[in-house]
Structure 1
């Protein structure tokens, strides 16, 4: 049954047929009224399989065995309850910690915390590294398992750290922030500034004796999220591709040097209309960060009437639900191949850099994920490429045209939202 040609009775839909259905639903309006302007580019909301949408492998990162991310909580180094909050978080499913403020010593903030089990990010100084390496040695943490970011000032002299961290490939020295909230054009501007800072830090590290491959491994980027789900997905993917172009100019020896650690951070507005609005906002921004391929995700604890204890629990459970019930960690770059997202990504890449990716698509060698709950009996791989979906029959049909595989209405979301009944 699974291999039967089910759609022989339905000829593939052409763009002209689809546009005719959409025009009928628009009741006299022009198709161009549905176009969206992004950074000076006009993007149509409708695409067919024959459309040549530019893609790139660099935007997909290096994840191939699923889409894991670090669930990170933030604590204040000077809070007397900081250690309790960290242990509460670790028992609740998080696997990363940001410590803000000066960390004078590891005790008591990091008491009973196994460094090999978390990603740790601090506002650090040279002295912090010695304390952390000593604690990791006491705990028997393998050098390849120690994952942390020191968060040093960007003008720090790190010559003396080069040999000390040579055996620790996952220690990042510098964190580069895009500065946070703004509309789409402001966000792109901030992302561009972050790229320039990253490029300057690469030169800074090379001047201090680091190879380009080692220098790339010593940086991370903090990208603050907005509420536009698809735009944020595309921005994270575009940032990876643009950063890969920056790195490529330095001629690294190893291909993996083209990628970087992206720490996504949920952002809240200064004012909200509802006491619980930011819980929904955090969830939607988290979805965009994870599907965009972030390496770590920080969800700040929102203020709610029920207090911080429940708020911290909700934050942890956003991660847990998206990982364990929504399965967002199962497939790497899960939104890759979407016509709209790929075109939006390419538009943002163009806004960030003039370089274009020339990578050629290859078939995925991944096998179906063992033990994946598979309610529809569809074998899933942990990574897909265009070759994997090339023979799918349903890609040649359109919404509003039999057999209605892409939805009942030709215009779908572009005119009005669906109702719950239509979802069912």
Structure 2
């Protein structure tokens, strides 16, 4: 080839496919089912299409720096131990600390006991060395803030050169506790606190608009965003009423959001927040500037069972928060739901971020989702829906009043109830818990066991993990003198029963009921003998529709006569009456209420 010639692009060898051609192929694959079957739906009511065209767009307001900050949690109740863990994190790649106090939104049952522990916990930690510090304050946060001021003064630091997010958040604290909030008194008090800090040289990131409380309570992305926006606007108004210049006031506000394993919605949520707050700034007559957003991997998605899968969930959450534009990220270690994480769990949490940053270089591109049709569409939908919710809150008189009436909490509760239903039916799968459970998992180490969750007020946005109902069933199963068992009544050849037997095993072991497998039986008499020999009280008939039609009823009768509390793997269809007459108590299939079935099975076992 001549030096001046260029090879044709590789893609030129393939003709471009039109959307109509794609549709024809999909319709053929669906075999008559409507294309709508491929359309998903978010908890905010937005459709998620199976295919999007490229979107025209450009990177929007993003974090000011390239990489996000790797923030490690400092939450050990004992100051000396917390200090040891924090120094290890900082010496091995973390460039920030989230100082968690007991009773704060991010405490997860632990945290520094009181403000007196702060100095010892930060011994040897050089706050003036470019370290990002995020305070997670309890409801009454004046003492920890005062302790921080004393520490800064004692060490001779210039506050203007420190990167500290103070985290004043009376609205989030009131929402978490379900307590009354007199904003006519608390708003001016908050503004006065911020002004006092500014007078001492702390001019930025003083007040926190924290959406984590909504996410942990089961809320949707739009509800989390609406809460954060309304909280920030309430703070902005309070500062303006206290004669703080709006340009100075907006610098005092930072945001915190939860990042979970729904990567597309998490990316869209962080992008949407920047767009929305930029619009509010412009409405205030200000030029939009980048805001500070801290992300924390979600408490709601953590599991006590098969906790190793939490590593995967956390990786997706960090990936999504980073690509969505978070300025800093903290990761709940994979054992957080079990208790206080040890150094090993903390190392994995830290390295989750470091690998994504230093090996995958995810922080090097500003707004990599820009122009991606699906992500742009999700971002637009979230902006529209959350802004509508935000306006509804404003119409009621602002977020403090909406929380006082309980209207906002009721909206979140409805979303949480819908999510609970989907989890119960495994429409929202929990790997390692409701799907692919490991009932023989090995225990993992923690420094301290997790304490019981504190009682929450009637109007509280109380945190809960979506895995809790399944975990309660596993605990119940293990409280028996011997683990409950179910006999897999596999009928016919291996090819006939394998799919449904595998489904049944996962189904019942999600509730801690051990499935006893075998190579299959030829007829009902053999099945009955196998069931008696197993020692189980429960049985589930597993085979293909063809075998069911030929030998199913006879097999069911034999198992029932042998004393089996009998289930059938598959939908009953038109034969439900015959199946029940033959002794089948219930049916397991995709979309069934798994939790209800498992509770009944444990009672029968």
**From 12, 18, 21, the counterpart of 2:16:** 12
Aligned partners of 2:384 and 2:193: how far apart in 1? Answer: 38
Aligned partners of 1:142 and 1:80: how far apart in 2? Answer: 25
- For residues 117-166 of structure 1, the C-alpha deviation after alignment (integer angstroms, 9 at most, x for no partner) is 2111222535245325425634xx583x4110222353334447537637
Aligned partners of 1:195 and 1:45: how far apart in 2? Answer: 30
1:261 matched to 2:277? The reply is: no
Partner of 1:96: 96
**From 138, 142, 148, the counterpart of 2:164:** 148
Q: Is the 8 A contact 2:310 2:334 kept in 1?
A: yes
Partner of 2:569: none
Structure 1 24/56 Cα, relative in aligned 2: closer, same or farther at 3 Å? Answer: same
**From 110, 119, 127, the counterpart of 2:122:** 110
Partner of 1:30: 34
**From 355, 363, 367, the counterpart of 1:333:** 367
Give the C-alpha shift of residue 172 in structure 1.
Answer: 1.5
Partner of 1:417: none
1:171 matched to 2:204? The reply is: yes
Aligned partners of 1:113 and 1:182: how far apart in 2? Answer: 31
Give the C-alpha shift of residue 199 in structure 1.
Answer: 0.5
1:280 matched to 2:281? The reply is: no
Provide TM-score, normalisation by structure 1.
0.72
Partner of 2:222: 188
Q: Which runs of 5+ in 1 are unaligned?
A: 356-424
Secondary structure of 1:107's aligned partner: helix
Give the C-alpha shift of residue 276 in structure 1.
Answer: 1.3
How do 1:242-257 and structure 2 match up within 5 A?
242-252=276-286, 254-256=287-289
Partner of 2:330: 298
Aligned partners of 1:128 and 1:347: how far apart in 2? Answer: 43
Q: Is the 8 A contact 2:167 2:206 kept in 1?
A: yes
Number of residue pairs the alignment of both structures matches: 344
**From 45, 50, 53, the counterpart of 1:45:** 50
Structure 1 55/136 Cα, relative in aligned 2: closer, same or farther at 3 Å? Answer: farther
Aligned partners of 2:117 and 2:223: how far apart in 1? Answer: 37
1:131 matched to 2:150? The reply is: yes
Structure 1 171/136 Cα, relative in aligned 2: closer, same or farther at 3 Å? Answer: farther
Aligned partners of 1:255 and 1:192: how far apart in 2? Answer: 19
Q: Which runs of 5+ in 2 are unaligned?
A: 102-113, 171-185, 390-605
Structure 1 168/56 Cα, relative in aligned 2: closer, same or farther at 3 Å? Answer: farther
Partner of 2:71: 71
Give the C-alpha shift of residue 263 in structure 1.
Answer: 1.2
Is the radius of gyration larger for structure 1 or structure 2?
Answer: 2
Q: Is the 8 A contact 1:54 1:342 kept in 2?
A: no
Q: Is the 8 A contact 1:71 1:95 kept in 2?
A: yes
Give the C-alpha shift of residue 344 in structure 1.
Answer: 0.6
Query: What RMSD in Å do the two structures reach over aligned CA positions?
Result: 3.1
Aligned partners of 1:168 and 1:296: how far apart in 2? Answer: 22
How do 1:206-225 and structure 2 match up within 5 A?
206-225=240-259
Structure 1 260/199 Cα, relative in aligned 2: closer, same or farther at 3 Å? Answer: same
Partner of 1:119: 132
Aligned partners of 1:282 and 1:62: how far apart in 2? Answer: 21
Aligned partners of 1:244 and 1:24: how far apart in 2? Answer: 45
Aligned partners of 2:215 and 2:225: how far apart in 1? Answer: 11
Moved more, 100-109 or 80-89: 100-109
Provide TM-score, normalisation by structure 2.
0.52
Q: Is the 8 A contact 1:75 1:86 kept in 2?
A: no
- For residues 382-411 of structure 1, the C-alpha deviation after alignment (integer angstroms, 9 at most, x for no partner) is xxxxxxxxxxxxxxxxxxxxxxxxxxxxxx
Give the C-alpha shift of residue 85 in structure 1.
Answer: 1.4
- For residues 275-295 of structure 1, the C-alpha deviation after alignment (integer angstroms, 9 at most, x for no partner) is 312122211111111111111
Secondary structure of 1:82's aligned partner: helix
Q: Is the 8 A contact 2:70 2:94 kept in 1?
A: yes
Structure 1 69/309 Cα, relative in aligned 2: closer, same or farther at 3 Å? Answer: closer
Q: Would you tell me which structure has more helix in proportion to its own residues?
A: 2
